[in-house]
Structures are given as structure tokens and as C-alpha cells.
Homo-oligomer: A and B are copies of this chain.
Amino acid sequence: MTTATTLSRLSHSLPMIAWLKTYTRQDFNSDLFAGLITAILLVPQGIAYAILAGLPPQLGLYASILPPIMYVLLGTSRALSVGPVSIAAIMIASVLQTPAISALGEPVQSTLILSAESGLIMMVMAMLRMGGLVNFISHPVLTGFTSGASLLIIVNQLPQLLGFKSIGCGVEIACYQDYLLAFDFTTLMLGVGALTVLLVFAKLLPKWLKNSGFTLPVVTAISKCGPLLTVLLSTLAVAYWGLMVSHKVAVVGAVPTGLPQLSLDFVAQGHWRLLLPSAAFIALIAYVESVAIAKVTANLNAEKIVPNQELIALAVANLASAVSGGMPVAGGFSRTMVNFSAGARSQMAMLIAAGLLALAVLFCSEWFSFIPKAALAAIILVAITPLVRLGNIIETWRYDQGDGVAELVTLLGVLVFGIEEGISLGIILTFVSYLRKTSHPHIAVVGRIPNTEQFRNIKRHQVETWRHLLLLRVDESITFTNINYIEDYLAAELKRQPDTRHVVLIFTSVSDIDTTALEALENINHELQRAGKTLNISEAKGPVLDKLKKTDFLAHLSPGKVFFRNVDAVNELLG
């Protein structure tokens, strides 16, 4: 019993215990395979995202070792793969390029501070139980943001792929020659070759293998080797022909051998405050993205994600990244889907992948230095392109115009003003349009469907109405945001129906009436009474009536009344 209680307590703070209790040999075999496949993807991805952020390659590799191990211990998702991700990488790149930060000339130290601050911010959010904050970024804003950031990444990576050198010439016709010469053809060949291999492995090969009758795990295993093969082939070509010297093909460059050294040197740096706002944005996006991805796989597996525990796990993962010399981490979409579709049954798969990464930095780092950046750019482009979902804006707009506008504005905001500005703009816009909506609540004049007790909108149904009776259904809680609109609506209806003797407000949809609204309702009642009319309430819910009973409002209504059902109101007021 005591052991069971201890275990249950432990599994609360270490969710890992939950799956370890029922872990089988078969589970391990699945995880081993998935871990291997994921590791094969993570080596090039780790290096690529570090370079995308404008950092030495080891910051991406180190971020793929200790942080996922921490997540394994603390996270609630069984499939989420934590490590460097593209969106965070482009956010880091944009921070490092701001004049105030680039003037410091310490991109690595600044990045470690960003990792540490992101972790600390997540920890504070977890302590304040702000895991629910993720709800306040709507899906359209998140989609618009992801599309925009992905487009920025593509714009950032295309020159790497094409071997395009920046030139001084403008847009005149005479420049065409300069532009033609600005391409480095060796790099271009490498890039296009890498892209071809990747697309064949990603699109054609899986189809062909499936049609040939191979099982899904084999198809997954083979198709996911595309990135590794791309890197291997292009690296061999560079190393064999010495292209980085003879043709100045850009390569990754020296990667230190050995495991990351734990260090707290970055703590002594002076620019923590300068980096804090950017770290907050990275933490927010990292968290929102991770939870969104974790939810997708959890839905597929019928598991449950605990948002606040995710915050803690991601916080510790980011702190671990800072201490072990890595860039900020999050749950990545492509890596998680690879892990999941390769059959991962638990976080054991990520533990194995992290172990393999560690072996890679121990024994293969010399080879990493010959990897051409063009091949990495190809890998990033193939991974990122599906995240650009411009068509989704039209779909969203068709369903809900406000959401469509928010998605488009967020996308444009990211492209025109920058990443942090774009997401801020999107969030602000969502709230403004949300407040606009709630300040114009749906109100319906209703009548009775003949011979029933059903009351419906007179504009949509054939209903019975009465000359002396105005039945108004307010379809929202009545608060300071919408009471003026409701007042105006009532005034307009009274003008249209001047013979009204009794106004009945139907409160079926009213869950709350705040102080501002109560005062206004008192005024409305007063005015109606002076005009010789009565104000009545019908179908009010228990909590609302309880609240109103604490005031004099219901007493002031007299001769107006509170009715339990609309039909009672009609019978009595007409009688």
C-alpha cells in the first residue's frame, strides 16, 4: 500500500512512472526502432536549425541531448519530441540581428540566456498556474503566425540553397549579368541535388514502397532516411572534391568533439534584461506550439495532456539546454510526427534518440564540419513548406470573417513588422474583435409557435405575437460591454411597437449580469414605468436570480414580474 501511494505520488510529479509500470519488451522494441529513426532525422535538423538561427552547429546538437532527457522525465506526452525547432530558430535569428544585441558580439552567450530565461518564464507561468494561457491564442492567429514565420524561414534559406551571393547592383536591366553571376553553380547543383533526393524520399518512394507491398514501419524507416542520405551524399561530395576550398561552397565548419560541458558562465552576462521580452515571446510560442502538437498525438492515442505539467517539463528542458550549451527548445512538429509514425510507444524512444545524438557528437563531429549548408537548407525547406498554409486563410474567412482577418493580419504582421510584432498584433486583434462581438450580442424578438410552449425568433419562424407584448431574448450575459447596445435595441423596438404595455426580457441565455448592467436595467425599468409600461423577466437561470435577489431590482420591477416560463408570462400578461 505504502509503495503504491508513493508510486502514485511520484507519477504525479514524474509522469514517466505511469508508462514505466506497464512497459513491456515489445514496447521497447517499438521504441528502439522509433528512436533510431528519429535520431537519424535529428542530427541534420539540429545542425540546420542552429545555422538557421545564425549559431554554431553544436548549439542545435547539444539542445537535442539533455533537454529531451529532461522532458522524458517530466512531460505528459508519450510522443512529443523536444529539441531545437524551426520557429524558435527564426525567432532567435531575429533577436540576434537586432542592433542592441548584435553590438554585443556574443551570439552564443545571448542564446544561452534566451534558453535560461525561456525556462524561467515557463516555470513562473507554471507556478502561477497559467497553463490555461494557451487558450488565449486562437487557432487562426497561431496558423497565421506559423505560415508567416515559415515564409520568413524560406526567404532566409533560399539564398543558402541557391548559393546566391549578395551583390551591390540594383534592379536595372544592366544588372542581369551581375545577378546571373551571383549564383554559385556548384552550390546550386548541391542544393538542387539535395532537394531532389529529399523529395524522392518524401513523396515518390513511400508511394512506390506501399504499392510494392511493404509494411508501414518499413516504409516509414526507409523514407525517413532521406535527410541523412542527403547529408551523407552531399558531405561525401564536398569532402572528396574539396569543394569548400576549390569552389568556396559554404560548409558547417568545425564542430567540437565530445559531450556538451555543463556550465553556468552565461549567468554572469549583463544583458538578461535586454533579452527578457524576446525570451517571453519565445517561451510563449514554444509552449503553445508544444501543447498543440502534444494534443494532436494525444488525441490519436486517447491520452491526456496536462498543460501545467507540460509547462514544468518544458521549463526544465530549456534550463537544461542553457546549462548544457544548447539553444531554446520546444516540441517540434516534424520530429514528433516522425517519432510517432515510426511507432514510438513512449518517451523511451526519445531517450534512445538522445543517446544516439550523444554518440554522434562523441564520434562523428569531424564529419559534420564538411556538411554543405545548401543540403541543410534543402532539409529545412522540405520540412517547413507544409507549414505555409495560405489557403487556410480563405477557408477560415469563409467560416468566420473575423477569424480570417485575424489570420491574414497575423501573417502580414509577421512578414512586414517582424515575428514578435506579428503575433502581438494577432493576439490584440483577436481580443478587439472578440470584444466587438460580445458588445453586439444577438437579440431576438420572439413569438410563440402556435399550440406549443416553444418561443422562437419572429424573423425565422411562423410565430404568434401580441400587440401589447414585446418579448425580447438577449442571447448573451449582460455586462458593461453590451448593455448600451441592448438599451438601444430595446428603445428601437419600442418605437416600432408603440402599443407595447409589457416588455418581457427572456434570460434563457443570460448567465450573468454585472454591476454596470444592473444599474442600466434599473434605469430601463424606471423609464418604462414612467411611460406606463412594465418590465418583466422570464426563464432566468438560478444563479442569475440568486444574484438579483441580493438587490432591490426585483422589488422595483413591480407591477412587473419574474416568470419561470415564457408561456406563463404570456398567459398572465395577456389575461
The chain A residues found within 8 Å of chain B, CB to CB, are: 132, 134-140, 299, 302, 304, 396, 398-400, 402-403, 430-431, 434-435, 437-439, 441-442, 444, 452-454, 457, 460, 475-477, 479-485, 491, 508-509, 511-512, 514-516, 518-519, 523, 526-527, 530, 541-543, 547, 550-551, 565
**Across-interface contacts of A136 in B (CB, < 8 A):** 435, 439, 480-481
Copies in the complex: 2
- How far apart sit A400 and B550, CA to CA, in the bound complex (Å)? 10
Ranked nearest first, the 9 interchain pairs of A and B with the lowest CB-CB distance are A509-B509, A138-B480, A139-B516, A403-B515, A442-B511, A475-B511, A460-B542, A138-B516, A135-B484
Whether B542 and A132, one on each chain, are in contact in the complex, defined by CB atoms closer than 8 angstroms, is: no
Which of B515, B530, B541 interacts with A138 by CB under 8 Å? B515
- How far apart sit A78 and B534, CA to CA, in the bound complex (Å)? 28
- How far apart sit A511 and B437, CA to CA, in the bound complex (Å)? 10
A264 nearest CB across to chain B (Å): 36
Whether B480 and A135, one on each chain, are in contact in the complex, defined by CB atoms closer than 8 angstroms, is: yes
**Across-interface contacts of A434 in B (CB, < 8 A):** 479, 481
Q: Which residue of B lies closest to A459 (CB)?
A: B542
**Across-interface contacts of A484 in B (CB, < 8 A):** 132, 134-135
- How far apart sit A403 and B515, CA to CA, in the bound complex (Å)? 7
Q: Which residue of B lies closest to A136 (CB)?
A: B481
Whether A508 and B511, one on each chain, are in contact in the complex, defined by CB atoms closer than 8 angstroms, is: no
Whether A400 and B138, one on each chain, are in contact in the complex, defined by CB atoms closer than 8 angstroms, is: no
Known: A438-B438, A514-B400. A481 touches B135 (CB 8 A): yes
Whether B512 and A140, one on each chain, are in contact in the complex, defined by CB atoms closer than 8 angstroms, is: no
- How far apart sit A240 and B435, CA to CA, in the bound complex (Å)? 62
Whether A398 and B550, one on each chain, are in contact in the complex, defined by CB atoms closer than 8 angstroms, is: yes
A153 nearest CB across to chain B (Å): 25
- How far apart sit A137 and B485, CA to CA, in the bound complex (Å)? 15
Which of B139, B302, B527 interacts with A527 by CB under 8 Å? B302
Q: Which residue of B lies closest to A406 (CB)?
A: B515
Whether A399 and B509, one on each chain, are in contact in the complex, defined by CB atoms closer than 8 angstroms, is: no
**Across-interface contacts of A508 in B (CB, < 8 A):** 508-509
Known: A400-B547, A480-B430, A515-B403. A475 touches B439 (CB 8 A): no
**Across-interface contacts of A457 in B (CB, < 8 A):** 541-542
Q: A399-B550, A402-B514 are in contact. List 7 more A-B contacts (CB 8 A).
A: A138-B479, A139-B515, A139-B516, A400-B515, A431-B431, A476-B476, A508-B508
Which of B137, B403, B453, B482 interacts with A514 by CB under 8 Å? B403
Which of B400, B403, B509 interacts with A511 by CB under 8 Å? B509
